[in-house]
Copies of this chain bind each other. A is one copy, B any other.
Amino acid sequence: MRGVVMHAPGDFRVEEREDPKILHPTDAIIRLSATCVCGSDLWPYRGAEPIEGPSPIGHEYVGVVEEVGSEVRNIKPGQFVVGAFSTSDNTCENCRAGYQTSCVQREWMNAMGAQAERLRVPLADGTLVATPGTPDEDLIPSLLTASDVLGTGWFAATAAQAGPGKTVAVVGDGAVGLLGVLAAGQLGAERIIAMSRHEPRQRLAREFGATDIVTERGDAGVARIKDLTGGYGAHSVIEAVGTQESMLQAIRATRPGGHVGYVGVSHDVTLDGQELFFSHVHLHGGPAPARQYLPHLIDLIWNRKINPGKVFDLTLPLEQAAEAYRAMDERRAIKVLLKP
């Protein structure tokens, strides 16, 4: 089958890869209807994360189940499924507490390489959720977002305790930040401030529910958020970048007692204990337990209550994955959907 293989920073190719097979009785094999490039895939693409030999990549996926192992009970061949970006047994204490990305049996789907025609999904019963039927073609991009980027925005908004009466600020205007805006709106936030300097992203942020746009960054951005909130700072801040600057911007824009929900994969971030101590913020985040939210998010999408698929502003055949990476790296596209 065809699939993306990382060779070196900037050198991601579509090649022949071995067809996946059932390796464990809890596995499923799915034929992908759509996959995509994640902002976090850009870290190795840009050389900010090591690449160990040619290796597959991709962790966002929807598709049709082709085959299941002998111990798979709930997932059946022929079903259309959405899967989380990490595997989970959905039975351990961490899963039952809603932290499936800390499942004691967790594997990252990147290792299986979802940017491909077919995919092996371990722990299929705990990782995949079937849709109520075969989706209309136009729902597929939105369902695909539930695999990671929407679930990540949702977790960020939840961790930031976005809700009624709250002013929410969102640091980062990538797909996760934009879907954090959407999530904050769905959770009932009163005011949603998107921090973005890019006109098309500002437009999408407004469409997703942003009430204010702040173009300043860093200390100036923090000052602007304070201005907009009577000097106190936002109640809830979503951090969707993962750099030192974005984390400090998020923490400093949050009022005492407020909540920072951070989901940008941390790169070279160090936090000063004393600043954190006197900030009085709540800090929570990490890899989003997308699996937790799948049933609810599939329901919202299936019933056309939300349209998160709008974050895909470019769709390419899988064969053109290299161009997809380039477009996202150069910020020509917010997020690129790949059709196997």
Contact = CB atoms under 8 A, between A and B. Distances in A.
A99 interface: yes
Given A255-B94, A274-B266, A282 B282 contact: yes
Nearest to A256: B102
Contact of A273 (B99, B266, B277): B266
Interface in A160-217: none
A257 B287 contact: no
Contacts of A272: 266, 269-270
A286 B282 contact: no
Give the one of A265, A267, A283, A287 with max B CB within 10 A: A283
A325 interface: no
Contacts of A284: 281-283
Contact of A283 (B93, B102, B278, B282): B282
A101 interface: yes
Given A257-B97, A270-B272, A280 B230 contact: no
- Looking at A244, A266, A273, the one whose CB has the most chain B CB atoms below 10 A away is A273
Interface of A: 93-94, 97-99, 101-102, 104, 230-232, 242, 244, 247, 255-257, 262, 265-274, 276-287
Minimum-distance CB pairs A-B, first 10? A269-B273, A102-B256, A266-B273, A99-B257, A283-B283, A99-B256, A266-B277, A266-B274, A282-B284, A280-B286
Copies, count: 2
A77 B168 CA distance: 45
Contacts of A270: 270-273
Nearest to A229: B93
Contacts of A97: 255-257
12 contacts: A94-B256, A94-B257, A98-B257, A101-B280, A256-B286, A262-B277, A266-B274, A270-B270, A270-B273, A276-B283, A277-B286, A277-B287
Nearest to A258: B97
A284 B273 CA distance: 11
Given A94-B257, A99-B257, A247-B273, 20 more contacts: A93-B230, A97-B257, A98-B257, A99-B256, A102-B256, A102-B257, A102-B280, A104-B231, A244-B273, A256-B286, A266-B276, A269-B272, A269-B273, A276-B286, A278-B287, A280-B286, A280-B287, A281-B284, A282-B282, A283-B284
A96 B309 CA distance: 40
Contacts of A255: 93-94, 97
